[in-house]
Amino acid sequence: MLPACPGARGLGARAGRGQGGVASAIVIIGGGPAGRAAAEILPGATLIARPALTAWHAEPGLVWTEGTHGVEPVPFERLLLCADEPLLLAALGAAFEGQRPRVDTTGATSLPGIYAAGVILGAATREEAAAQGRIAARALAGQPPGGRIQIRPLPPAPALRPGPAALLAASGTPAASEAERRRLALPVGLCPARSVSLAALAELAGDMPAPAPLQEDVERLA
């Protein structure tokens, strides 16, 4: 059973704050065949789709978006990623096998409540992507999935040295394409998944925040 959600929103709808503090229980990222098919199964979900709204970063419980209204966080309890944005899953801490997120036959990733479908899993046709979107949406909603997702493996990713300096050297910025940058960034989990306007991000800032507390290590050597 789906939890109560704010009213259904269309493709590329502006989402995020301003929902009376109620978390959007389910968020779908991607307005392609998989995302649209999933939205039909999950009519109360928030759909984040380019070009109106771009998901540029994710953290547990939040997708960060940029749109015509600036940068905003969109809260979620469950998430279905139908866009080719593996760095969003990497930022959340999902497990990967090569360049693909590790998922089961319903698209469930290694993280509870977070699913993937469509082009990010290698769907070769629009029909296959839509079918994957429906399977993952049903599974996410607790319904029988009605099928199995077949993962299409990618060739192993090249080993990448650590650190942004290595990434920048390898990608040859600024000339590298967005896709190349994301491919190279995945093994080190660099953020953000897509670039974001500095000015729009700055608009989010309020007063200078207090320093984040230092953290204590209490673990043992072994």
Count the site residues for other proteins by CB under 8 A.
47
Does residue 170 belong to the site contacting other proteins (CB under 8 A)? no
Q: How far is CA 215 from the centre of its chain?
A: 28
Part of the chain binding other proteins (CB under 8 A), chosen from 27-35, 42-50, 101-109, 181-189? 181-189
Does residue 22 belong to the site contacting other proteins (CB under 8 A)? no
- Which is nearer to other proteins, 154 or 166 (by Cβ)? 166
From the list 26, 71, 88, 186, which residue makes contact with other proteins (rule: CB under 8 A)? Answer: 71
Give min distance, CB of 19 to other proteins, in A. 18
Give the CA distances from residue 120 to residues 27, 74, 103, 107, 161, in Å, rounded to whole numbers and listed in that order: 16, 21, 11, 10, 24
Q: How far apart are CA 65 and CA 200, in angstroms?
A: 11
Give min distance, CB of 1 to other proteins, in A. 31
Residue 59's DSSP bridge partners are: 62
The answer to whether 34 touches 25, Cβ cutoff 8 Å, is no
- Which is nearer to other proteins, 68 or 173 (by Cβ)? 173
Does residue 190 belong to the site contacting other proteins (CB under 8 A)? yes
Give the CA distances from residue 123 to residues 117, 181, 186, 195, in Å, rounded to whole numbers and listed in that order: 8, 22, 19, 25
Does residue 59 belong to the site contacting other proteins (CB under 8 A)? yes
Does residue 150 belong to the site contacting other proteins (CB under 8 A)? no
Give the CA distances from residue 50 to residues 22, 25, 35, in Å, rounded to whole numbers and listed in that order: 24, 20, 11
Q: How far apart are CA 124 and CA 44, in angstroms?
A: 28
Does residue 202 belong to the site contacting other proteins (CB under 8 A)? yes
* Residues within the interface to other proteins (CB under 8 A): 57, 59, 64, 71, 73, 91, 93, 161-169, 173-174, 181, 185, 189-192, 195-199, 201-206, 208-209, 211-212, 214-217, 219-222
